Chain A
Amino acid sequence: MTEAVLYDAAGPRGRRRILLGSIAGVVGVAAVVGVAVARLAAKGSFDAELWRVLTEGAVQRLIGRGLVATLRAAVVAMVLAMAVGAVLAVGRLSRRAWLARAAGAWVELFRGLPLLLLIFFLFLALPAVGITISVFWALVAGLTLYNGAVIGEIFRAGILSLPMGQTEAAYAIGLRRGQTLRLILIPQGVRRMLPALISQLVTLLKDTSLGFVIGYAELLRNGRTAVEFLGGRYSIPIYTAIAVVYIAVNASLSLLARWLDRRTRRRFGQTVQASVADEAA
């Protein structure tokens, strides 16, 4: 950790400067926010009546149903993606070169494509060859293809992070390669990759919002429906509520991941770190 040594604790003069600077900064930000608020208020965006819409049963039910649909898609996709990821990880770790290469190519392909394109592919191309697919399954299948590849890499990193001695010891007592993987490596690897897996679940949950594009009635789509029904004036309260719901769910998952990460590192040493880029996509 380099951060901690970059500066000394501020003295009395430094503290005063920081205080004055902070006040100036807060005033500056407050001025910008104030102008925005004033403009919105002039249009009546802060009328209590607009925000009271959030207390209405119908709107709450719509948002609640949206959240349930979002969670349902996320959970189904997560389970399927973990299954796909496990197959891909075992495939890439295989000693059969063709299998390792095929799994590697699969991972590169699906990690290299935008998730939205995958969803469109399933949604538009499958009906073209005569397979009908519901919006739910188009979304879930797209999420599974993309996240399966990412989770496969997390699994692989978890297993590769274990010391060689574990494999060597397993071979020394006469276990076969499959047994080594099943009995020795996977049980230890799972612990190390659990935090990364949870952060990927956050990413997946965020990505369910793409269901909005193909018309799956999840959280965001239902918010849009509410705004279309009530009128554009209600967009700020409704979208703010939607954002708060997403942030609340995801931030609690992120906290869980961070807590697990600390706990695992304390007890079992290293963990697999989720890559920043995977969190972004």
Chain B
Amino acid sequence: MDAVLDNLGAYREGFVTTLELSVLSSALALVLGTLLAAMRVSPVPTLRAAGATYVELVRNTPLTVVFFFVVFVLPQLDILLPYFAFAVIALTVYHAAFFCEAVRSGINAVGVGQAEAARSIGLTFGQSLRLVVLPQAFRTVIPPLINVVIALIKNSSIAAAFGVVELTATGTRLANANGDAVIAILAGVAVCYLVLTLPSGWLAGRLERRVAVAR
């Protein structure tokens, strides 16, 4: 326990880094994912194929392999960034595919009549998507989106293996430095993650039930 209390500063830094990593990557991945979802339902076959290929490739590749490509291949293109930026890129590229699928399933959950009505009053594809379908889709899609964010928070731990000192890396460093208190130190890290993931999970569950009743 003392080992945990003595290193509260390190914990805080790790926690903040994990938070920064997650928030930044979630925001970027949500934008990219929504764009991909719009591509996947668009009237243009080329865009549909491009979106589908992206999602299919990424969802079958381990995040660790995505990290490998970003961290080891981008420098070969003379793109040299700090490890933190590399981690944000890898997390964004990977999770955009899952945000896309969540948004797309939301689009499909909106009643067909809504889209038909939008089209019959003469709205174009872009207008019906923007003004009628997406606003309704986002409501049903908020719980799955929160769940993808939770997955992203957990997956951000992989950045520990690629030079970013976030929560998990802090934990292993402290564990190596305090061989007598490994369990307490890692349990401390676990609590930090649970503080982020459990309340978000409950929130998602509650919203899901509310939306389910509304339909």
Contact = CB atoms under 8 A, between A and B. Distances in A.
A binds B: yes
Interface of A: 1-3, 5-8, 10, 14, 18, 21-22, 25-26, 36, 39-40, 43, 45, 108-109, 111-117, 120-121, 124-125, 128-129, 202, 206-210, 212-213, 220, 223-224, 227, 232, 235-236, 239, 242-243, 246-247, 250-251, 254, 275-281
Contacts of A277: 98, 102, 144, 147-148, 150-151
A108 B199 CA distance: 11
Contacts of B160: 116, 213
Contacts of A207: 62
Contacts of A254: 59-60
B168 A276 contact: no
Contacts of B47: 25
Contacts of A6: 41, 43, 115, 119, 125, 128-129, 133
Nearest to B110: A2
Contact of A276 (B56, B98, B108, B128): B98
Looking at chain B's contact residues, the main secondary structure is: helix
Contacts of A7: 42-43, 119, 125
A247 B61 CA distance: 6
Contacts of A113: 154, 190, 193-194, 197
Looking at chain A's contact residues, the main secondary structure is: helix
Interface size bracket, B side: 35 or more
A5 B112 contact: yes
Contact of A128 (B171, B182, B190): B182
A243 B105 contact: no
Contacts, number: 199
A239 to B, nearest CB: 5
7 contacts: A22-B45, A111-B201, A114-B156, A128-B179, A206-B63, A209-B62, A220-B68
Nearest to A10: B43
Given A206-B63, A209-B62, A275-B147, A281 B190 contact: no
Contacts of B189: 117
Nearest to B57: A247
Interface string B191-207: 00110011001000000
A114 B168 contact: yes
A224 B108 CA distance: 41
Given A2-B41, A111-B197, A116-B157, 15 more contacts: A5-B115, A7-B119, A18-B43, A25-B50, A113-B190, A113-B194, A114-B154, A124-B172, A129-B183, A209-B64, A213-B160, A227-B72, A243-B65, A251-B60, A279-B101
Interface of B: 41-47, 50, 56-57, 59-65, 68-69, 72-73, 76-78, 94-95, 98, 101-102, 105, 107-112, 114-116, 119, 125, 128-129, 133, 144, 147-148, 150-158, 160-161, 168, 171-172, 175, 179-180, 182-183, 186, 189-190, 193-194, 197-198, 201
The 4 tightest CB contacts between A and B, nearest first, are A277-B147, A250-B60, A114-B157, A22-B46
Given A112-B201, A276-B148, A117 B158 contact: no
A124 B151 CA distance: 24
